[in-house]
Every structure is written in structure tokens, then in C-alpha cells.
Structure 1
Amino acid sequence: MKFGKDSNAVEVNIPTRTALFHAVQTRFEKSKGFALATLNLDHLTKLPADPAFAAAYRAQELVVADGRPVVWLARLAGKPLELIPGSDLVIPLCELAAKMQMPVALVGSTDTALAGAKIALQEQIPALNIVLTYAPPYGFDPAGDMATEICEMLNTSGARLCFVALGAPKQELFAAFARNKAPTVGFASVGAGLDFLAGQQVRAPKFMRALALEWLWRALQSPKRMIPRYAKCFAILPGLICDALRQR
């Protein structure tokens, strides 16, 4: 299903978890890299105002639905999608990587968070081979010299899967840039997924996620940052609903 209009439109082209893991496994087998983005309502507020972000999103080979509003809009359009949050993909993608003996890299967040995430992942998946962790400095340019250096590190390390935890739009911009510099690496943009594993951020309890209230939890945790963000999300919903009905 497509979201947005004209040059800013993006398409969720992977509808289910089964389809996603089949696509990733196939790319691992063929030594083909990829960029994986998880579309949510916050991204949809940014895309019309940021042509570079929109271009980076269109460069992602795999796009899934992250966020219940995206899933609900797809259902309204008669094109159902499964909910696939980026944070929920870290463990199963690592399990697949370990099974297929694909080395893994962790890029983004902070040194402390990456160290904690590495320990947590290796405790849960002993066969996992994490060959690189790197937290870019403040002000990191996702298409600059440092981004090129990270790609060189990835190529040297032999990593085949790289989790990118830089937040939107920086992580998607980096993934789109790095795809050409490290062509055998799969880049998965996972937002706060590594911070959750490391205990640097606390995710909403399962019952709140089941009730579609994770947004409320995050707003209560960081009101100054999250309330304006969610206000923008709610503001674009009427237009997105109209678009979904037209697609139906």
C-alpha cells in the first residue's frame, strides 16, 4: 500500500513477517544487501517536509508497517498489513543471522547502549557473532565522511547485517547512503530497539502495547519531546484516512 502523495509517496511493500523473513533469508543466501525501514505515523509527518528523507525512503528495498495507525489505514484501504515494529525485529533477525552464520554489526545510539545491547543479544543468542559496534559522534552526517568510514569498517569486519539505531530521518538516510558503499550488508533501521535491549530506555508494558497505547506510555516518559510529535501525527490523520478511502 502507498502512503502520501506524488514524489513524497512511500510504499509498504512487505505485508507480513513471513514475507519479510523470507526476503531477508533470500538476500543473505545471495550475498545481496538491503535496507529495511519500518514506516510509522511520525515518518509520514516528516516525509512531505523533507525531500531527502522521502528519497531515502524510496531507496529502501524492504518497508514494513510499524505502528497501529499505519495498519489501520491499510485495513481501511482494503490492503491489510501486519504490524511489524522495528524494536520487535532485533531478536528474530539476530536469530536468523546466527542460524545462517551471518556476522552482525550495531551502529548508532551510544557506546553504553551498544555495549549493553551486545551483552543482551549474546546472552539470548550465544551463536550470534557481533563483529562491530560503533556509536557515531554528535552531529553525525549520515552521508558524510564519517558515514563512508563506517561503511569501510563494515566491509572490513565482514558484517552482513547492520542494525542502525540513529532515529528518523538519520537512520534511513544512512541506510540509503550505505547500501551502495557496503553492497553485501543488510541495514535494518530499528530506532530505540537497541536502547530497549540495553535497558537505556524502558518500553511500554505488553498490556499497553496490546491496547495500542504505547504512544501514551512514550508521551508520559518524555512529554516535552513526544507530545508535540504526536500532535503532528494526529493532525495528518484526516488526510491519510481520505487517501486510504480513495485507494479502497
Structure 2
Amino acid sequence: MKFRIKSTEIEVNLPDAAALLAEVGQRFEAGTGFALATINLDHLVKLRSSEVFADAYAAQDLVVADGNPIVWLGRLAGRDLSLVPGSDMVLPLARLAAEKGVKVGLVGSTEQSLARAGDEMQRLVPGLEVAAKIAPPMGFDPQGPGAEQVFAGLEAAGVGLVFLALGAPKQEILAARGREQLAGIGFASIGAGLDFLSGAQKRAPKWVRAIAMEWAWRMLSAPGRLVPRYARCFAILPGHMWRSLKMRSTR
């Protein structure tokens, strides 16, 4: 499934969680790094207005569908995609890292949240080594000198997998930059995944997610911030639906 944003083409190149874990496992064994992004409608909105974000997304090695609208658009285009939210992949990726003897680093959120998330991950994943926990200061610029300090800390800790919880577009921009500078490290952008583990944020109940209404649950929890965001997301849907149908007709 491909999305063209102006001159940038972005492809969802892994159809489901099993394919993602298989690919990451191979990269762990080969000592090859990667940048993983989980695309959703909000990202597609942001990509239209930020050339820096678009360039960072184009540099991602692995892209999965995070959001039912992306899955549905894929199916309209004739691609069988499954939902792979970044927050759902934290523990599976951590288990894979533990199996392969890969150290993990956490970047983003707050020091308190990272400490709790790290403890919870090690409790749930026996043998996992969380070797670095870095909470950048407010106003952190992934293109600025502060990023070099983050990279230095990760390299010194010997990590092979980093969970980035900075939110879009910061986490994807940092992942693209890290992928270029630290070729042996995998960078996974997972949004609020660490805050869910630490309890700093509450996720929608499983039954809400099962009926594809997590977006509504989130919107009701913060309407002032999220109603305008979702309005922008819905506004771009018709155009992407039309392009998906055109892709299907040419397959």
C-alpha cells in the first residue's frame, strides 16, 4: 500500500505483526539497524505540511498500519493489511530483543514514566535488559545538538533497540537521523506506548478497541485538542479512498 504526499512516496511494506517480528528478528541476528514507523491518518495530515517530516518518513525502513482507516484504505487498494499499533508492539519487540540478547533503550516521555515503564517491561519480559532511559527536556529538537547527546547515551549503553516515545513528527525525525548515524541500532517509534505501560496515560478498554472506536474514546477524553485533529483527518479520507480504488483498478 503506497501513499503519495506531494513528491514523497511512502509504502506500508509490512502487512502484519508477524511479518514485522520476522523482519526485526533477522535484523537483530545480522546486527543491522532499522527505523520503524507506524503510519496513521494524523501522520498523513502532518506529512502534507512538513517537508522535514516527509523526508524522515521516506527514510523509514519498516512501515506498518497503525489505525483502522489505513487498514481499510489498504483493503480498498487490494492489499490485505492488519492493524499494528505501535503501542501494541512494545512488548512483542521487547520479547524478541530478550530472546536475541539485544539491549533496549527508552527515549521520550518523563524520567518517572520511563522508570516505571522499564520496570514493567522487565517484569513482563524475563531476561530483558533495559540499558538506557533518556527523557529529553521540554522543547527537545530532534534536529538539534540535543539529539547527539541522546545518540551518545544510547551508543555508550550498547543498546540494539530503542523505543522512541516522543510523538510525531519528533520520533520519526529522530529515528531517521539515528538510523543514519548508528547503523546497528533499531529505532521503533511507538508514541504513547511507554506511558501506557507506566500508567502515565490510560488506554481505551479492549472492547472499545475491538469495535474500532479507540479514536472516539480518545477524542472524548480530550475534545479541545483532538476534535480539530480528527476533523483534519476525516477531511483527507475521501481523497485517499479515491486513490486507493484507483490502485485497485490498476493491480
| TM-score w.r.t. length of structure 2 | 0.97
Counterpart in the other structure of 1:224: 224
2:91 corresponds to 1:91 = yes
% identity of equivalent residues: 54
2:20 corresponds to 1:3 = no
SS in 1 for 2:7: helix
Counterpart in the other structure of 2:167: 167
Q: Write the deviation string for residues 158-186 of structure 1: whole angstroms up to 9, x where unpaired.
A: 00000000000000000001112211110
The whole-number CA distance in structure 2 between the counterparts of 1:167 and 1:119 is 22
The whole-number CA distance in structure 2 between the counterparts of 1:8 and 1:223 is 32
- Matched ranges for 1:61-210 at <5 A: 61-210=61-210
Paired letter, 2:246: R
Q: Write the deviation string for residues 25-71 of structure 1: whole angstroms up to 9, x where unpaired.
A: 11101111100000001001111111110000010000000000000
Task: Say if 2:107 and 2:163, in contact at 8 Å, map to a contact too.
Answer: yes
SS in 2 for 1:150: helix
Q: Tell me the CA shift for residue 6 of structure 1.
A: 4.0
Counterpart in the other structure of 2:59: 59
The whole-number CA distance in structure 2 between the counterparts of 1:31 and 1:18 is 20
The whole-number CA distance in structure 2 between the counterparts of 1:54 and 1:185 is 22
Q: Tell me the CA shift for residue 224 of structure 1.
A: 1.1
Give the unaligned 5+ runs of structure 2.
none
Task: Say if 1:4 and 1:44, in contact at 8 Å, map to a contact too.
Answer: no
Paired letter, 2:67: G
The whole-number CA distance in structure 2 between the counterparts of 1:14 and 1:144 is 31
The whole-number CA distance in structure 2 between the counterparts of 1:192 and 1:137 is 17
Paired letter, 1:137: P
The whole-number CA distance in structure 2 between the counterparts of 1:222 and 1:96 is 34
The whole-number CA distance in structure 1 between the counterparts of 2:71 and 2:4 is 15
The whole-number CA distance in structure 2 between the counterparts of 1:136 and 1:67 is 27
Counterpart in the other structure of 1:15: 15
Aligned length: 248
The whole-number CA distance in structure 2 between the counterparts of 1:128 and 1:26 is 18
Paired letter, 2:48: P
Task: Say if 1:35 and 1:186, in contact at 8 Å, map to a contact too.
Answer: yes
Paired letter, 1:17: A
Q: Write the deviation string for residues 194-213 of structure 1: whole angstroms up to 9, x where unpaired.
A: 00000011000011101000
Task: Say if 1:165 and 1:191, in contact at 8 Å, map to a contact too.
Answer: yes
Q: Tell me the CA shift for residue 112 of structure 1.
A: 1.3
Q: Tell me the CA shift for residue 126 of structure 1.
A: 2.5
Q: Write the deviation string for residues 70-129 of structure 1: whole angstroms up to 9, x where unpaired.
A: 000000111121110000000000000011110000000111110110111111112100
The whole-number CA distance in structure 2 between the counterparts of 1:5 and 1:113 is 35
Task: Say if 1:154 and 1:182, in contact at 8 Å, map to a contact too.
Answer: no
Counterpart in the other structure of 1:42: 42
Paired letter, 2:27: R
Q: Tell me the CA shift for residue 148 of structure 1.
A: 0.9
Task: Say if 2:33 and 2:187, in contact at 8 Å, map to a contact too.
Answer: yes
Paired letter, 1:3: F
Task: Say if 1:159 and 1:185, in contact at 8 Å, map to a contact too.
Answer: yes
